[in-house]
Structure 1
Amino acid sequence: MEIKGKFAVITGGSGGIGLETAKLFFKEGAAGVAIVDYSKEGLQEAKESLMGNNALFIEADVSKAEEVKKFIDESMKAFGRIDVLFLNAGVEGVVKPMIEYPEEKFDQVIGVNVKGVWLGMKYGFPALKQGGGGSVIITSSVAGLRGTAQVSAYVASKHATIGLMRTGALEGAPDNIRVNSIHPSPVDNRMMRSLEDGFAPGAGEAVKEGFTKMIPLGRYADNDDIAQMALFLASDRSKFITGATMVVDGGFTA
């Protein structure tokens, strides 16, 4: 029971990684988990999937300050404290060269992936402090550690989360708030299907095969691979780890 009695908030909570992490958190003893997502349909599916657990479901856009404040406040009202804040919400944008990249898409990616993380810590830190500290976990990507052509907004956003994570780790430390980021290789879920098709419309399987060949362990990550790292960072086993970039990539960046 790695996180027995802890209360967690997960943004992007109805997506592949978010929902898998919520299930794992409950399995490992979480007392309550708030599932935050922009998608009404996704929240309904998550509600059905997590039936019987102490889960809270909140519709919110993480790029808007008033909505971030709302889900933090609602979680505190329901649970009394927050021990784990998993800032997992993210969007991939589109696949296009920089000179063709739509400005509105760039703004959307930065708004969700960067501003959403910043707002999460801005409003989440005081809640974590009230409970004596806790763990903030940020979903970044191997795209935050290297460049990839044609996904400039996504790559820029994932590099930016590292800066926010490191700053958060320094600012949170006096209040026993740890902040770390997870950097997955391609994960076998909806986002990668979108990117694969973006790189080669109608030939996504060939793109997947190419990416797979670049991973020494010979496969994409699955949602559970990332959830297991989130569990470790949420648990007391990582109590002396903060400011770290935790790579879960099957050797992709080796």
Structure 2
Amino acid sequence: MEKIFENKVAIVTGGSFGIGQATAIAFARRGAKVVIADWIEDKERTTLNQIEAVGGKGLFIKCDVSKPGDITAVIDETFSAYGRLDFAFNNAGIEGISAPTHECTQDNWEKTIAVNLTGIWLCMKHELPHMIREGKGAIVNCASVAGLIGFAGLPAYVASKHGVIGLIKTAALETAKLGVRINAVCPGVIRTAMIDRITGKDKVAEQQFVNMEPVGRFGEPAEVAEAVIWLCSDAASFVTGHAMPVDGGWIAS
């Protein structure tokens, strides 16, 4: 595989599992050094081991993206270890607790917005100055098909993901002439631990989700990772402010 990101550095939040893990490994395959930031410490070093298995280098930093101090620590440690920042995949997120809007608790609302929206804003707030200073860089934020359409019973999650898309459009306009591109991926139903929690691994519930996908199957984390890689690559040099569905045709249906 061509090392298109040789000597580059990428931060991936929520990088210990799922889409984040697949993307961290995909960056490493292309030659990038990868900083994995996640509030759950993978004591088995699963992601780091897979990065090393493809010949890459990585670093794990424990981080709660809703805490500004944790974000600044990730940036500081990234520069201490590697001296630069070229790409960021701001992916960390939670689904929150399912309930109708009038039954959604304030605690669930505030926690979901804090991680999914404020967390991405905080990451961008501290990533962008370095990229702007260098006059180059690419950021991809993880939104969702729930950032493009509504879903009953997930008011906080849907609001947070719609907010992510508004944020990338604003930031993309601000940095369009500064050499920095900012986009989002909007995954559909991807086979991750989040989907397992939502369905409880119940086969009937899983099939209901599959039936919603025009392609007739769940997506795989690696398929979202490849979209992130493309958006960060020079092949996407004229793409900024775009919320890209990676959803098996869900939004088209």
State the TM bucket, normalised to the shorter chain. Answer: over 0.9
How high is the TM-score relative to the length of structure 2?
A: 0.93
Contact 1:215 1:251 survives alignment (8 Å): yes
Q: Which residue of structure 1 lines up, in the alignment, with residue 89 of structure 2?
A: 86
- SS of 2:11's equivalent in the other structure is strand
Question: 1:85 Cα deviation (Å)?
Answer: 0.9
Indicate the RMSD between aligned Cα atoms, in angstroms: 1.5
After TM superposition, list the pairs within 5 Å mapping 1:214-225 onto structure 2. Answer: 214-225=212-223
Question: 1:133 Cα deviation (Å)?
Answer: 1.4
1:20 alignment partner, one of 14, 17, 22 = 22
CA deviation string 1:112-144 (max 9, x = no partner): 100011111111001112333110000000001
Contact 2:31 2:56 survives alignment (8 Å): no
1:145 alignment partner, one of 138, 144, 148 = 148
- The question of 1:180 aligning with 2:180 is answered no
Q: Which residue of structure 2 lines up, in the alignment, with residue 33 of structure 1?
A: 34
Unaligned runs of 5+ in 1: 198-202
Task: Quote the Cα distance in structure 1 between the aligned partners of 2:203 and 2:236.
Answer: 37
Contact 2:95 2:194 survives alignment (8 Å): yes
- SS of 1:40's equivalent in the other structure is coil
- SS of 1:29's equivalent in the other structure is coil
- The question of 1:44 aligning with 2:45 is answered yes
Contact 1:133 1:176 survives alignment (8 Å): yes
Question: 1:99 Cα deviation (Å)?
Answer: 2.3
Contact 2:181 2:241 survives alignment (8 Å): yes
Q: Which residue of structure 1 lines up, in the alignment, with residue 229 of structure 2?
A: 231
Contact 1:72 1:127 survives alignment (8 Å): no
The percent identity for this pair of structures is 38
The aligned amino acid for 1:24 is: A
Q: Which residue of structure 2 lines up, in the alignment, with residue 116 of structure 1?
A: 119
Q: Which residue of structure 2 lines up, in the alignment, with residue 95 of structure 1?
A: 98
Q: Which stretch shows the higher mean deviation, 53-62 or 137-146? A: 53-62
Question: 1:41 Cα deviation (Å)?
Answer: 3.1
Q: Which stretch shows the higher mean deviation, 123-132 or 80-89? A: 123-132
Number of equivalenced pairs: 248
Task: Quote the Cα distance in structure 2 between the aligned partners of 1:143 and 1:42.
Answer: 32
Task: Quote the Cα distance in structure 2 between the aligned partners of 1:107 and 1:27.
Answer: 37
- The question of 1:205 aligning with 2:206 is answered no
Question: 1:160 Cα deviation (Å)?
Answer: 0.4
Contact 1:43 1:57 survives alignment (8 Å): no
Task: Quote the Cα distance in structure 2 between the aligned partners of 1:137 and 1:163.
Answer: 13
Residues 143 and 3 (structure 1), Cα distance of their counterparts in 2 relative to 1, 3 Å cut: same
- SS of 1:174's equivalent in the other structure is coil
1:58 alignment partner, one of 36, 61, 68 = 61
Question: 1:70 Cα deviation (Å)?
Answer: 1.1
Residues 42 and 119 (structure 1), Cα distance of their counterparts in 2 relative to 1, 3 Å cut: farther
Question: 1:216 Cα deviation (Å)?
Answer: 1.0
- SS of 2:42's equivalent in the other structure is helix
